[in-house]
Amino acid sequence: MTSRKHATIREIAAAAGVSTSTVSRAFSRPDMLSPETVAEVQRIAAELAYVPNRSARALSTGLHGTIALVVSDIANPFFAPLIRGIEQRCDVADTLVLLGDADESAGKEITLIAKLAHQADGVIVAGPRSDDAGLRALAAHTPMVLVNRHLDGVAEVVVDTARGMRQAVDHLATHGHSLIAYAPGPADSWANTLRHTAIQEAANAIGIDVVVLDNERPTHEAGLALTSRIVESRATAVIAFDDVLGQGILAGLGTAGIAVPDQISVIGCDDTVAARTFPAMSAIAADLEQAGSLAADTLFSVIASAGLGPVPDPIEVPTTLVVRDSTGPVVDR
Amino acid sequence: MTSRKHATIREIAAAAGVSTSTVSRAFSRPDMLSPETVAEVQRIAAELAYVPNRSARALSTGLHGTIALVVSDIANPFFAPLIRGIEQRCDVADTLVLLGDADESAGKEITLIAKLAHQADGVIVAGPRSDDAGLRALAAHTPMVLVNRHLDGVAEVVVDTARGMRQAVDHLATHGHSLIAYAPGPADSWANTLRHTAIQEAANAIGIDVVVLDNERPTHEAGLALTSRIVESRATAVIAFDDVLGQGILAGLGTAGIAVPDQISVIGCDDTVAARTFPAMSAIAADLEQAGSLAADTLFSVIASAGLGPVPDPIEVPTTLVVRDSTGPVVDR
DNA sequence: TTGTACGCGTTATCAA
DNA sequence: TTGATAACGCGTACAA
């Protein structure tokens, strides 16, 4: 049960007794036609279930009505709300979304972007793992928006964790913590550098100490494995690079019989799964869906400017600390 | 920094001193050309960074080299591994993936499929919420593969939870449970019916009782809200429609101070987040990534048969119970 | 305001 | 084995 050819602009033209250009214009630039003509053509078109062929349009105009979205790891819950935001924005803009999963590989990411760029009017690259040079080379040929990555001359939407981190550190200090641990993510991750710096500065500002744990991958297993390091560090609170890592830490502490938050407090980041852990995890939250919408909007404007105008200013999505049940004062035993 | 036009088949032809048809064939049907010609053309093409224009190809052949994937809710962790499996399979097939998020709305789902179908050679619809008639109408015009949904005459890949459910019920019975509760998902969900039935049959077979709780949405909040119902039911074990619901139940019980598994055992389904809960949740697991690959393969074959051959047999992805820390015997206190 | 005619990049048909 | 040429469906100068 496949096939059944689609109606073409020519059939509509014939049925409506007008020329093909009139039909074309009825869809792409109705303002050039008399209202009645537009109405009549639209009517007939609807009747014949006519839908403009995007390939033909792309061939003629050079625009595909499609954008590409490349994520570093589709399994990371960080991307779900982001994707939703992008989809929603594209839906109203009548733009389609091509999805690519880089699968945590920088090489694959570059290949993927290059491949998709040919079929799309622009690319959103979320949480890129690639190096600056590779991304820059691609950005030279394709409208591009980066999410959570900075690269001079390329549009970007970043989650500004600084404010949330400050709130987190203050929150912990208020509860009497004077030595907190930071469980980092990938060393080459732009977000990790940002978060680490923000914590350090916030801690310095109010005079408490930070110890950085030894960690690379922001996975649940990595979090589990950190338990002994955390205990050895003598820190009474941990801020994790992201929620997934934080959830692992929570589980590790639980298994070791260490009470949260009575003995150790834990704070996650991104608020992707924090509300569903047990105990529910305090976390630095951002509106990732909005980040997605903004990324899409930004890409549209980059596409519209056709590389002529200036690069849009970086967009920062604000963060706030959401306090749940994984943080509190140290309770004497 | 945009633009820079791409090389066309004509430029390659000129540079290689051959006709455009030869260049075209060097890419689409190398077997029709002498090996040397192919090599030479490929060399020149690579030099000029030529990439065939898919829009032009689609216009000429009617095939887009693209498939559409419509998911009912991108935020549901069930889809992440599925998407990954599809992406991987499409990557090697040099096929692009258009993503659509139906956002839990049946109406939007239908619209989305219709819209994407025009730009793709086929559609994979994962966890459809739409009614049979709507899906069937679309399937009549477009190669379609359904994931976790049955519809006569349409290809499908389903996770066969029956075996896993049997194992789960046996596992619980072995530990002495004689009354288990089922926390269902959406009543109109095909998967829910399947799971419910499987549990009931398995329980009947070994002579233990099942009580079905009152629930609709498979969310964390819904799981939390079920706590009192579970206690009232006097069941000593709960099997949840999916992991997300199970995780909520786990959190609810934890908050209420009910020990898992000493007082109540909990089993999730799909194994999407079960390994990361605390305590780690026993769950009925399936290889969802493989389900994705199979769905893609099936769609390719449906596309290739052009609606002529018979509908492929339903593909069932097997499930197994993964035992973790949320199940065990009831411990007297 | 509307129509005519050409081009977008590729593949298919038919000849050579 | 290769080449010339006509589609594919649409947008857009240009003409009317």
- Identify the DSSP state of B215: -
Q: Which nucleotide is nearest to A41 (CA to C1')?
A: C2
Statement: the CB of A55 is under 7 Å from strand C: no
The residues, ordered by sequence, that sit 6+ positions from A29 with a Cβ below 8 Å of its Cβ are none
- The DSSP 8-state label assigned to residue A182 in this structure reads E
Backbone φ, ψ for residue B33 (5° rounding): -115, 160
pLDDT band of residue B188 (cuts 50, 70, 90) is confident
pLDDT recorded at residue A332: 65
The reported pLDDT for the residue numbered A183 is: 98
**Chain B residue numbers touching A100 (CB-CB < 8 A):** 87, 97
A318 HSE (CA, 13 A, CB side): 5
Q: Which two tokens stand for residue B185?
A: 């998902």
For B217-254, the DSSP string reads --SHHHHHHTHHHHHHHT-SEEEESSHHHHHHHHHHHH
Q: What's residue B2's pLDDT? A: 42
Nearest chain A residue (CA) to B116? A96
What pTM does this model have? 0.94
Judge: B276–A244 Cβ closer than 8 Å, yes or no: yes
What does each C-alpha distance from A100 to A294, B86, B311 come to in angstroms? 19, 11, 29
Tens-binned pLDDT, residue by residue, of chain A (333 aa)? 444 568 999 999 999 999 999 999 998 888 888 888 999 999 999 999 899 999 999 999 999 999 999 999 999 999 999 999 999 999 999 999 999 999 888 999 999 999 999 999 999 999 898 999 999 999 999 999 999 999 999 999 999 998 999 999 999 999 999 999 999 999 878 899 999 999 999 999 999 999 999 999 999 999 999 999 999 999 999 999 999 999 999 999 999 999 999 999 999 999 999 999 999 999 999 999 999 999 999 999 999 998 788 999 999 999 999 999 999 998 865
Q: Which of B6, B77, B276 sits opposite A247 (nearest CB)?
A: B276
* Residue A292 CB contacts under 8 Å (≥ 6 apart), including other chains: A81, A82, A83, A84, A85, A86, A87, A88, A89
Residue B1 has pLDDT above 70, yes or no: no
Assign B331 a pLDDT band (cuts: 50, 70, 90).
confident
* B238 close to B180: Cβ distance less than 8 angstroms: yes
For residue B320, the surrounding DSSP H or E stretch is strand B315-322
Interchain contact, A251 vs B118, CB within 8 Å: no
Compute the distance between CA of residue B41 and CA of residue A256 in angstroms, rounded to an integer: 64
CA A309, CA A51: separation in Å to the nearest integer? 33
CA distance A24 to A21: 5
DSSP B266-319: EEEEE-SSGGGSSSPPEEEEE-HHHHHHHHHHHHHHHHHHTTTSPPPPPEEEEE
CA distance B199 to chain A (A): 26
**Minimum distance, in Å, between the CA of residue A154 and any CA atom of chain B:** 9
Q: Cite the DSSP H helix spans in A62-206.
A: 79-92, 106-117, 132-139, 161-174, 190-206
What integer is the mean pLDDT of B53-67?
95
Return positions of chain C under 7 A from a protein CB: 1-5, 7-13
Q: Say if residues B218 and B268 touch (Cβ distance below 8 Å).
A: no
Strand C proximal to A32 Cβ, under 7 A: yes
Closest C-alpha among B143, B157, B149 to residue B82: B157
Q: Reduced to 3 states, what is the DSSP secondary structure of residue B53?
A: coil
Residue B111, Cβ density class (10 Å: 0-12 exposed, 13-18 middle, ≥19 buried)? middle
Q: For residue A84, give how far its alpha carbon lies from the nearest alpha carbon of chain B (Å).
A: 7
Structure tokens at A141: 């040929």
Per CB-CB distance under 8 Å, the chain B contacts of A99 are: 69, 83, 87, 97-99
Is B332 a residue whose pLDDT tops 80?
no
* Buried b or exposed e, range B65-101, using 16+ CB within 10 angstroms: bbbbbbbbbbbbbbbbbbbbbbbbbbbeeebbbbbbb
Nearest beta carbon to residue B119 from set A54, A276, A307? A54
Q: Distance between CA A88 and CA B58 in Å, rounded?
A: 27
D9 C1' closest Cα residue: A56
- The confidence score (pLDDT) of residue B3 equals 44
**Could B4 and A277 be called an inter-chain contact, meaning their C-beta atoms sit closer than 8 Å?**
no
H-helix or E-strand spanning residue B68: strand B66-71
Per-residue model confidence (pLDDT) at position A97: 98
Distances (CA, A) of A194 to A158, A188, A295: 10, 11, 19
Assigned token pair, A132 = 């600056």
B61 Cβ contacts chain C strand, under 7 Å: yes
Protein-to-nucleotide distance from the CA of A92 to the C1' of D1, whole angstroms: 51
| Nucleotide whose C1' lies closest to the alpha carbon of residue A55 | D9
Q: Please spell the DSSP secondary structure of A110-145, one letter per residue.
A: HHHHHHHHTTSS-EEEES--S-HHHHHHHHTTS-EE
CA of B9 to C1' of D14 (A): 28
Q: Are B232 and B239 in contact (CB under 8 A)?
A: no
Q: Are A53 and A6 in contact (CB under 8 A)?
A: yes
Three-class SS state of B155: strand
Nearest to A84 among B55, B66, B74 (CB): B74
- What pLDDT does B309 receive? 83
Q: Which of the two residues, B74 and B331, has the higher pLDDT score?
A: B74
Average pLDDT over every residue of B18-46: 92
Cβ <8 Å between B77 and A77: yes
**Which residues face A124 on adjacent strands?**
A69, A145
Instruction: Give residue-wise pLDDT tens across range A173-196.
Output: 999 999 999 999 998 788 999 999
DSSP three-state, residue A17 = coil
Q: Which residue has the tokens 């540079």?
A: B15
Chain B partners of A69 at a C-beta cutoff of 8 Å?
Answer: 99
* Minimum-distance nucleotide, CA of B59 to C1': D8
Report d(CA B57, CA B237) in Å as an integer.
Answer: 57
**A158 Cα to chain B: minimum distance (Å):** 21
Gap from A28 CA to C3 C1', in Å? 17
DSSP-based helix, strand, coil % in chain A, nearest 5: 45, 15, 35
**Closest listed residue to residue A237, CA positions, set A287, A279, A288, A180:** A180
Chain-chain contact of A98 with B99 (C-beta, under 8 angstroms): yes
What pLDDT does residue B307 have?
Answer: 75
